Amino acid sequence: MDVDAIKRTLEGSGLRCTPQRYAVMAFLMEHPKHPTAAEIFQAVNRLDPRSSRATIYNNLSDLVRAGLVREVAVEGRAARFDAKGMRHHHFICDRCGNVEDMEWYDVPKPASGSLGKRVLRECELIFRGLCTKCAPRHASR
Amino acid sequence: MDVDAIKRTLEGSGLRCTPQRYAVMAFLMEHPKHPTAAEIFQAVNRLDPRSSRATIYNNLSDLVRAGLVREVAVEGRAARFDAKGMRHHHFICDRCGNVEDMEWYDVPKPASGSLGKRVLRECELIFRGLCTKCAPRHASR
DNA sequence: TGAACTAATTAGATTATATCTAATGTGAAA
DNA sequence: TTTCACATTAGATATAATCTAATTAGTTCA
């Protein structure tokens, strides 16, 4: 993924391509491992320019609002972030909280009767269990 | 739901029926509105006996561990709790964060090939959008 | 160009949420 | 009873995220 492509992606969503915002977006695209805000903060600050914590959070929320990034809430843990590429679902590990991508399935839509006056934006499928690292240790919990 | 039924439910899961634990479980069963820990804390303390914050969290995590209660993480907000009754999915409001129940649909299971060594425990479907209260105000955001 | 405006960034304070600690209380079983 | 594991407590602490007020950078357009 080259610099201009990221720049165009940001600007296509009405976001200025600042060095800090670029760094956040590029990191998310290059590391599809669903990092936390703290991990992104550390990672982008290993390079220049330095970003403050507030900037990381500001930019993440701009990117989420623009629909370029997804925020994944995990019970009892910091939120994870995920550049939206191909459609996919998530697997969340009960033990370590890590989030992994799962292939996409079409999801059953609720009957419009059961939606009432609600406005549906999206459906998301979450698989839960033990990830590859944690499964072998299952017994030792 | 009478006292003995809750008592039996707790003890059937290996949990002592203490007044505080009973109060948390009874509140969740009587108020299927997915309250936060803070809301549960306030509500059960309107009655006797008083519970400390730590007790609320301890009991919630005992109940979750026992499989009697579900914790629902919501991005940017406090977790919600939900006594597991009939199987159902959730609708989470983008605007106010409230969680509502949706009817149950069978969910597509991943092919075992795509699971690898992961151990699947459950699949959960989350619908997102605007709830009945927030939908009319959509434009005014 | 450069004045004026708007968006973005910053360090650090603050808030919100949840967990931990160490002391105390409680109930069941021997 | 005595004992022991479980449960509860107040308050301290930890963690995650947001806010504040000042500053900097980028854009617009006269």
CATH number at residue B128: 3.30.1490.190
pLDDT for B25-50, tens place per residue? 999 999 999 999 999 999 999 877 78
Q: Are residues A97 and A35 part of one domain?
A: no
User: ipTM value of the model?
Assistant: 0.89
Pick the more confident residue, B80 or A47: B80
Neighbours of B9 (CB within 10 A): 19
Question: Protein B104 CA to nucleic acid C9 C1', in Å?
Answer: 46
Q: Which has the higher per-residue pLDDT, B1 or A23? A: A23
Tell me how far apart the alpha carbons of residues B24 and B83 are, in angstroms, rounded to a whole number: 10
Please state, in angstroms and as integers, the Cα–Cα distance from residue B8 to each residue in A122, B15, B91, following that order. 39, 10, 30
Residue B36 CA, nucleotide D23 C1', distance (Å): 39
Confidence band of A113 (pLDDT split at 50, 70, 90): confident
Taking residues B97-113, what's their average pLDDT?
Answer: 90
**Are residue A47 and residue A18 in the same domain, yes or no?**
yes
Indicate yes or no: strand D within 7 A of the C-beta of A38.
yes
> Amino acid letter at A91?
F
Q: Do both B78 and B14 map to the same domain?
A: yes
Q: Which residue has the tokens 């080259």?
A: A2
Evaluate if the CB of A36 falls below 7 Å from strand D. Answer: yes
Cβ distance B74 to A79 less than 8 Å, yes or no, reads no
Q: Are residues A120 and A104 in the same domain?
A: yes
Residue B1 confidence class, pLDDT cut points 50, 70, 90:
low
Looking at chain B, which residue has its C-alpha nearest residue A61?
B76
Which residue in B has a C-alpha nearest to residue A126's C-alpha?
A: B124
Measured from the CB, is B54 under 7 Å from any atom of strand D? yes
Write out the residue range of the structural domain in which residue B49 sits: 1-84
User: Quick one: B80 and B94 in the same domain?
Assistant: no
A102, A121, A136: residue with CB nearest B110: A102
At A1 the pLDDT is: 63
| Residue A141 reports pLDDT greater than 50 | no
What is the rounded average pLDDT of the residues A121-127?
93
Q: Which of B84, B100, B129 is the last residue of a domain?
A: B84
Distance from CA of B125 to the nearest CA of A (A): 5
Domain edge (last residue) among B40, B64, B84: B84
Per the structure, the count of domains in chain B is 2
Nearest-by-Cβ selection for B94 from A76, A121, A138: A121
Give the whole-number percent of chain A exceeding pLDDT 70: 96
D strand bases under 7 Å from protein CB: 6-12, 15-20, 26-27
CB contact under 8 A, A124 and B119: no
On chain A, the residues whose CB falls within 8 A of the CB of B126 are 123-126
**Cβ pair B126:A131 closer than 8 A:** no
Is the domain of B94 the same as that of B124? yes
Residues A3 and A66 in one domain: yes
Report the CATH number at residue A67: 1.10.10.10
- Tell me the percentage of chain A whose pLDDT exceeds 90: 81
Same domain membership, residue B40 and residue B57: yes
- In the listed set B60, B84, B108, which residue is the last one of a domain according to the structure? B84
- pLDDT for residue A77: 96
The values of phi and psi at residue A129, to 5°, are: 160, -145
B53 and B115 assigned to the same domain: no
Say if residue A10 is in the same domain as residue A65.
yes
Nearest-5° Cα angle at A65, A60 to A71: 55
**pLDDT band at B140; cut points 50, 70, 90:** very low
Does A48 share its domain with A103?
no
Distance CA A74, CA A129 (A): 13
Who among A107, A120, A135 is closest to B129 (CB)? Answer: A120
For residue A140, the model assigns a pLDDT of: 44
